[in-house]
Amino acid sequence: MRPGDRGSAYSEYFSALNQQLKDHGPMRPVLLIDLDRLDHNIDVVMQSVKRGGKYLRLVEKSLPSPGLLAYICKRAGTQRLMSFHQPFLNHDALVFPESDILLGKPLPVRSAQLFYQTHKGVFDPARQLQWLLDTPAHLQQYLALARGLGTQLRVNIELDVGLHRGGVADTATLGQMLGLIRANAQHLQFAGFMGYDPFVGMGVPGLLGSADELFAKVMAQYNGYVDFTRQQFADLWRPDLTLNTAGSPSYRLHERESLSSEVSVGTAMLKPTHYDLPSLVEHVPATWIATPVLKRTGAVQIPALDGKSRLLSWWDINQRETYFIYGGNWMAEFESPAGLQSNGLYGRSSNQEMVNGSQAVGLAVDDQVFLRPTQTESVLLQFGDLLAVRGGQIVETWPVYT
């Protein structure tokens, strides 16, 4: 922050949260979910999904709490989930027994084997689970697993529609995979396609093409694979296939096409800082890290500099107050009070991080520092139970996945 910049005290919104946490919080780092803001984001997504005539599939890794997922499922009216991690998958199958689950990445076949070994409950994988696979070799491994288990696996094929992170990239490879499924109908069932295209909504440099041009290329590729399958493997084509697409940055674009049957959305429900995108301008931030101030020590002091440190606070008024917070060094950006900054010269800490600001910040010991996560999928798992707030009041606690 430049010399001369000044901080400011809490807004009314964060002032209420600060008092609530001081009165009723655990006085340690916590992750807050604002239900009023979350409701807004869910409604924005569902309005788009309905305009496009599609279904919504919730990305579990970006919302890694059964309580949070259940809340969104109920308001959005969906039971479709996308899972990325075998322990979470087993938990989903137990906690959401009526769900339809699509894997979001091809898992090692050993992970799939462990799923079946530890699976409990009434969830029926042969009917409710789709394994995402990307190569003929990977499919051969899953075929061997199905034979060993004496069951049938539903196979969704990952398509490379421009992300270039793996997946089928030509019809020859697709033909091999569909041929293998056709030849082993007792153990394999074609369930559909997944074409992930977040880059379309991420704001790539203009010289690489506009969002409209990139989206047209994505859908041309997706259409090509669908047409190939319909023509060459008509016996495998069914009207109830899962034609999955999108991602949080790009889901709105899919209102324009009628090929896909569903869009996947996760992070947009909470909107961390990395999702401050033009495509998500209608969404609002709905999650915060809150952590108490443990110590207030005045103007910045750097080890070994001692008295010379006063030059730093003379030069930069945002180093005239020093706070040590509970924890720190998260994938997050300071949100409130405005004007706070970490101290690169002192160094980052995950135990007691130094935070500096001007005297206008006005924090006292036990006041909360609020940060906005840069992403959700890993950050939400670091704080224990999530605290759901509504109208500035803590109303629920939700355990996260383990």
Distance CA 287, CA 290 (A): 10
Query: Rounded to the nearest 5 degrees, what angle is found at the Cα of 152, between the Cα atoms of 150 and 155?
Result: 145
H-type helices in 100-210, by residue range?
109-118, 125-128, 136-149, 171-183
pLDDT higher than threshold 90 for residue 163:
no
Averaged over 310-339, what is the pLDDT?
81
pLDDT higher than threshold 60 for residue 321:
yes
Query: Residue 390's beta-bridge partner residues?
Result: 393
Could you tell me the CA-to-CA distances from 77 to 143, 248, 280 in Å, in that order? 34, 18, 21
* Ordered domains of the chain (ranges, CATH): 12-32+285-398 (2.40.37.20), 36-268 (3.20.20.10)
Secondary-structure breakdown of the chain: helix, strand, coil percentages, each rounded to the nearest 5: 40, 25, 35
pLDDT higher than threshold 60 for residue 289:
yes
pLDDT higher than threshold 90 for residue 180:
yes
- The structure's pTM equals 0.93
pLDDT score for 255? 96
pLDDT score for 205? 55
Averaged over 48-67, what is the pLDDT?
98
- Token reading at 336: 């409130």
H/E run at residue 333: strand 332-336
User: Mean pLDDT over all residues of the chain?
Assistant: 92
Inter-helix orientation angle 86-95/66-76, to 10°: 60
Distance CA 140, CA 137 (A): 5
- Token reading at 67: 């309580």
Averaged over 26-39, what is the pLDDT?
98
